[in-house]
Structure 1
């Protein structure tokens, strides 16, 4: 999630369940209510699901539990990798008109990075935020954080390799042109000697 400390005003702004969301939550049972609510609000805020159950700060769990009037300890009974959690993720994606990222999506984002972003920015942290924003704009749930980092590093490597090759090619072309000019000049000098003699 990244952010661990949330002020009360931030909790109200970002983690308050509106009536329509509360209705969706109350269709679930027991600990699944708080699990669904956290998945829903996290996706709404970050356009991706938390990767680990432990990544949700306790202050957020408490705030959500208080809204749906169940003990915050109920969160521990929510099976993060269980069938219900998987069904909830599908439901939430549909709610926001998102889909899961494919290999082709990652390849296209890599191409986009190389062409549009990396010529001006190559720091991992800013690029990571740019990539997540790109996924959000395309309404695609991103891959895991580890996969996103590997995508970025691979794109940077491709960009640097291509850039170095372009520089090398330009230098090689320039050297060939300069060498060709030198050959012409030497040839002209030889011709002058042949036609006009050593003394001109």
Structure 2
């Protein structure tokens, strides 16, 4: 929740209505103020706050409405039977219920099936989970539980994502991808046998951008593109997931050495290599168009320059 509030926003969001005031009838002092603040916070956020989540401006504004000194908010007890009773009252008032283990399982599967295929940010997963809880009128899990659920959803999605990719790979494509890493890691000192250096060159080339603008660069990129096409990745390989999900897997593959790939389970290994080839193929096609345009422009400029100097 934001920390700074203008007066008009406080009035719009933190003003107690008649039904809410009725809930305060048998409460006084810190208990009255604490309950009122939590009540309004839950209405706004769909969850119960921690002490540090509550903006001071909201406490001051609510304190004025319930005729309690704002300083007494510091005396409100954030654990024990009183706050548990308050939470139960607030849930009933807003028509919410506590989240069960079954609810947590449903949230995990929902995140894995609906959100993970299109979102890669853990923050967006958390936001989606909270929105789903509010829609279902269930109190969201604690922050620690939310981290556990989003992590479980990501793991579940990864298993399904890689299993789906494996089902779509032709046997020949899987073998070609494995061939990309059938080489030793690069020698950090630039030394080693010439055969090993040559064998690992294509995986390294896949990770490199084109060289200087010249005809040789264009031809080299064409050869590289053809070698990627020969792998035989099927159309629709990553159908059902967003481009940014595939890009995340490609970025992950870009940081890995052959030994890193070899150490990964086969579905993850092949999916990472496929994502690298898939994205680089699209980039190479776009890059070739740009290279060709620049090269043609470079060639066409030379005669004009010669004519000016003749």
Provide the TM-score with structure 1 as the length reference.
Answer: 0.81
In the other structure, the counterpart of 1:31 is 30
Q: Rate the CA distance shift 1:167–1:33 in 2: closer, same or farther, 3 A.
A: same
Superposed displacement of residue 178, structure 1: 11
In the other structure, the counterpart of 2:306 is none
Q: Rate the CA distance shift 1:150–1:177 in 2: closer, same or farther, 3 A.
A: closer
Q: Is residue 88 of structure 1 aligned with residue 86 of structure 2?
A: yes
In the other structure, the counterpart of 1:109 is 107
In the other structure, the counterpart of 2:154 is 156
Superposed displacement of residue 170, structure 1: 2.3
In the other structure, the counterpart of 1:137 is 135
31-40 or 53-62, which deviates more: 53-62
Matches within 5 A, 1:179-194: none
How well do the aligned residues superpose, as a CA RMSD in angstroms? 1.9
In the other structure, the counterpart of 2:219 is none
Matches within 5 A, 1:8-87: 8-50=7-49, 52-87=50-85
Q: With a CA cutoff of 8 Å and minimum separation of 6, indicate the structure with the bigger relative contact order.
A: 1
In the other structure, the counterpart of 2:202 is none
* SS of equivalent to 1:140: coil
Superposed displacement of residue 177, structure 1: 10
In the other structure, the counterpart of 1:175 is 171
Unmatched 5+ stretches in structure 2: 176-310
Unmatched 5+ stretches in structure 1: 180-200
Partner Cα separation in structure 2 for residue 118 and residue 76 of structure 1: 40
In the other structure, the counterpart of 1:146 is 144
* SS of equivalent to 2:23: helix
Superposed displacement of residue 164, structure 1: 1.2
Partner Cα separation in structure 2 for residue 177 and residue 53 of structure 1: 56
Partner Cα separation in structure 1 for residue 46 and residue 128 of structure 2: 13
Superposed displacement of residue 161, structure 1: 2.2
